[in-house]
Structure 1
């Protein structure tokens, strides 16, 4: 492999970009492309930033010199790779998955490599993806937080279920029918709580993987909201706690009724638990920026509201504001469900000073039925 490729200026003027700048430079990871001799043929802005050198200085430079990476055993990564990754005739593409490698001085990079070869197995080019371990650490932190949150949320209902069922099994004849009914009702409520948590976790996984599927059909959002508010009233909340406003002649909404029930439940129950005073729920229509129509769901409360500085984080995983309890997953799932319908959701201040959540959903029959 040659160690010199001419001056950087000559290389910069002679070598066209492998991909248009707007393609490479829009990628969040650093991308480095080499030719068959291992010299850098192209790179993007993210790679320049990671390597702390301008593109003009790097073009034509041998990769082993521009990126003197070593594995955790101290072996030079590029040389070891070339020595051990010889491919038989007929293999056109190979490489390796993400590996943690070190630059001189101990700087860590996560490197993914793909090699493209001709029919004889000769290397034509290599494409490397580079990123710092920060994203992986954030993912590991999220995973640890999720495990801790789930363990905390499961402990209380499962302990309750275990205690009540153990008491019933040991002393069934000593309890009155009313006592048995109360204990079994508590067990059922705790089982429902666990079921909701499991459902949220499954939806979080689908949102994260981009596999959240919705099955749209014509539905009446106003009726769904009324039914949920009625259930809360039947559960013991005062009628005066709720204020429902529905516009007449709403346009048709195509949405997944089960998924929209989750959205309504999450937002209204959130306002009931964490807000104060009247919970005002509205369903209306407004004109969309493209000239179409939105169906708009608003949920307001008279509580402490959400401070302006916290609003960008409300729909993040594990967000809790003030004295709020729970998993911190409900609003994250809500945003995923709304966006899967092609809509958006935001939070601002209600006229009464509490929080106002606004969901906008495109009206009319959608072009596609799967988000």
Structure 2
């Protein structure tokens, strides 16, 4: 039944439905008849069925034809649309089909119109979506370009290069070529500078100047500013710009101004930091900064050396550790000082022991304040004042030495003069001569001290005068021996093996004799037994080496590096046989240095010393003397 056509359904409906009442009536009549039989009933049913079929066939056929025409019309309307106007039905077709066709045509027309409107609207929406998508894509690309500017940058590739990269990407997006020109104050720091093109483009950037410049309207110029400071310009030449492009370049120039300003500030801070770090690292003072957690946040190289700690391990050390390391090298009295320095700000002085040597330190502990005088930590400056201490000690020793050295001869002179001037006694001439001889010797001693002071002053000023000439080494040695006071050298044995055949030396014979006299005097003075002095000389290609060897008390090796320092006197632990200013060897070194020579010492405590003086040889050149 499901696969039957509409025609079959209609025919069955018109044929079968009337059968039911007919069969029902016929059956009742037959049952009531006295002559009822099965054949009569069957015949009656067949006749009724045939009659009914005949009656239903023709209406069903007409309706089927009408529906077929309606279906064909509907298909034609669907396929051709509004081109089909009316439909022609048979005369026997019901009016409802006409109304149905007309309403269907109207409905189909409206649907077709709505479909066209929807298609048009859909096309417009697709176009809008495409335009919007393109606009969003352009906006995203512009935002990606600007994001490079607002993202924190590293020192490389630098602000100018980042801006140029943004302009290159903008050219790929828009096809507009934009050039970057930086002003002179910043071009050397951040980028290149094209002066001619820059001046030509920027000269017309001001509306008031455009009329004065023939090429002013060829360019679009956007200034790169941050506040009231102009860092450069973005220049577009001979390219039309849309309003969107102009707005983007304005935004780009604003962001570029900010990034250039930040980079300049960053580089300025880096330079200032580098300068400050270089200054702190170059200082001779050890510097430490302690934060509120009492940990080291900065320490220069001097501080690492003072603590004997690797530089990279200084940061993070505790303040307690630093003071503990220092305290371990101090005496008991100085430990109390360093303990007080940990608790209170101020200036403290103490001595750090390094085996046999000492280092005098002045510690400055002070608060480190930031903005609004807010304390951010504690500063410690460890200054090595060993030289200052030695200078102060030297001044004290100098005053003591000068007082002692001048007091002895002056007292002797005063006593001798008072003795001679006594009116209550008469002295014979021999006694007076003896007294006057002593006064003369004391005056010579004072004059010798004054001459030493003058010599050391000339040496300091590098103004010592030399009367150079070729002279035999043996002559200088013999003169030095001969000028020794007889009473002073009477108990000494002096042997000289300096050969007269040695080459000449080129120098001042008086000054060189002064050097050898000082060495001989020291060899006799610092000797606890019978002095025995040996003088020898050798030569090489450039120098004559004169050596003075003695059997004196010798010098400890810890003092050998300082014996030529001024005012330095070796402390032997014994009572010195005679006084000394500590200037003799310093003067000797100054004189030999003025001759472009050298002086050295070898010594063994308790055995003796050997002082060696090296003086340049004389080399004649056509009767003239020259120093080699």
Please indicate, yes or no, whether the TM-score normalized by the shorter chain is above 0.5.
yes
- The structural deviation recorded for 1:272 is 1.5
- The structural deviation recorded for 1:51 is 3.8
- SS for the counterpart of 1:277 is coil
Q: Show the counterpart of 1:344.
A: 598
* 1:60-99 alignment, distance < 5 Å: none
CA–CA separation in structure 2 for the residues paired with 1:328 and 1:189: 21
Q: Show the counterpart of 2:366.
A: 104
1:284 lines up with 2:533 in the alignment:
no
* 1:116-131 alignment, distance < 5 Å: none
Report the CA distance shift for 1:367/1:46 in structure 2 as closer, same or farther (over 3 A). Answer: farther
CA–CA separation in structure 1 for the residues paired with 2:570 and 2:424: 41
CA–CA separation in structure 2 for the residues paired with 1:368 and 1:47: 41
- The structural deviation recorded for 1:108 is 6.6
1:215 lines up with 2:467 in the alignment:
yes
- The structural deviation recorded for 1:168 is 1.4
Q: Show the counterpart of 1:308.
A: 557
- SS for the counterpart of 2:613 is strand
Report the CA distance shift for 1:108/1:173 in structure 2 as closer, same or farther (over 3 A). Answer: farther
Contact 2:534/2:549 (CA < 8 Å) preserved in 1?
yes
Pick from 327, 330, 335 the counterpart of residue 589 of structure 2. Answer: 335
1:298 lines up with 2:539 in the alignment:
no
Unaligned stretches of 5+ in structure 2? 1-153, 159-267, 289-298, 302-363, 368-378, 620-624
Unaligned stretches of 5+ in structure 1? 1-8, 14-33, 56-101, 110-130
* Runs of 4+ deviating beyond 6 Å: none
Contact 1:108/1:132 (CA < 8 Å) preserved in 2?
no
* 1:211-290 alignment, distance < 5 Å: 211-232=463-484, 234-235=486-487, 237-238=489-490, 241-275=493-527, 276-287=529-540
CA–CA separation in structure 2 for the residues paired with 1:207 and 1:10: 54
Q: Show the counterpart of 1:319.
A: 569
- The structural deviation recorded for 1:38 is 6.9
- The structural deviation recorded for 1:260 is 1.1
- SS for the counterpart of 1:315 is coil
Pick from 199, 202, 205 the counterpart of residue 454 of structure 2. Answer: 202
- The structural deviation recorded for 1:270 is 1.0
- SS for the counterpart of 2:545 is strand
Contact 2:618/2:626 (CA < 8 Å) preserved in 1?
no
Q: Show the counterpart of 1:188.
A: 440
CA–CA separation in structure 2 for the residues paired with 1:356 and 1:146: 27
Using the size of structure 1 for normalisation, the TM-score is: 0.62
- The structural deviation recorded for 1:214 is 2.9
Contact 1:306/1:321 (CA < 8 Å) preserved in 2?
no
Contact 1:268/1:299 (CA < 8 Å) preserved in 2?
yes
- The structural deviation recorded for 1:174 is 1.0
Q: Show the counterpart of 1:146.
A: 398
- SS for the counterpart of 1:197 is helix
CA–CA separation in structure 2 for the residues paired with 1:240 and 1:142: 33
* 1:37-48 alignment, distance < 5 Å: 41=275, 43=278, 45-47=281-283
Report the CA distance shift for 1:362/1:356 in structure 2 as closer, same or farther (over 3 A). Answer: same
Contact 1:299/1:358 (CA < 8 Å) preserved in 2?
yes
Pick from 595, 603, 609 the counterpart of residue 355 of structure 1. Answer: 609
- The structural deviation recorded for 1:187 is 0.4
Contact 1:279/1:299 (CA < 8 Å) preserved in 2?
no
- Structure with max Cα Rg: 2
The count of corresponding residues between Structure 1 and Structure 2 is 272
Contact 1:315/1:331 (CA < 8 Å) preserved in 2?
yes
- The structural deviation recorded for 1:202 is 2.0
CA–CA separation in structure 1 for the residues paired with 2:365 and 2:589: 40
Contact 1:282/1:298 (CA < 8 Å) preserved in 2?
yes
Report the CA distance shift for 1:367/1:353 in structure 2 as closer, same or farther (over 3 A). Answer: same
- The structural deviation recorded for 1:135 is 3.7
Report the CA distance shift for 1:273/1:47 in structure 2 as closer, same or farther (over 3 A). Answer: closer
- The structural deviation recorded for 1:161 is 0.6
Contact 1:254/1:363 (CA < 8 Å) preserved in 2?
yes
CA RMSD in angstroms comes to: 3.9
Once the two structures are superposed, what CA deviation does each residue of 1:335-366 show, in whole Å capped at 9, x if it has no partner?
Answer: 2221221112122138x932111111121257
Once the two structures are superposed, what CA deviation does each residue of 1:229-266 show, in whole Å capped at 9, x if it has no partner?
Answer: 23447447448711111124211211122211210111
- The structural deviation recorded for 1:297 is 1.6
Determine which structure has greater relative contact order: mean sequence separation of CA pairs < 8 Å that are 6+ residues apart, divided by chain length. 1
Once the two structures are superposed, what CA deviation does each residue of 1:67-105 show, in whole Å capped at 9, x if it has no partner?
Answer: xxxxxxxxxxxxxxxxxxxxxxxxxxxxxxxxxxx7736
Once the two structures are superposed, what CA deviation does each residue of 1:92-151 show, in whole Å capped at 9, x if it has no partner?
Answer: xxxxxxxxxx77368679xxxxxxxxxxxxxxxxxxxxx865544433332222122111
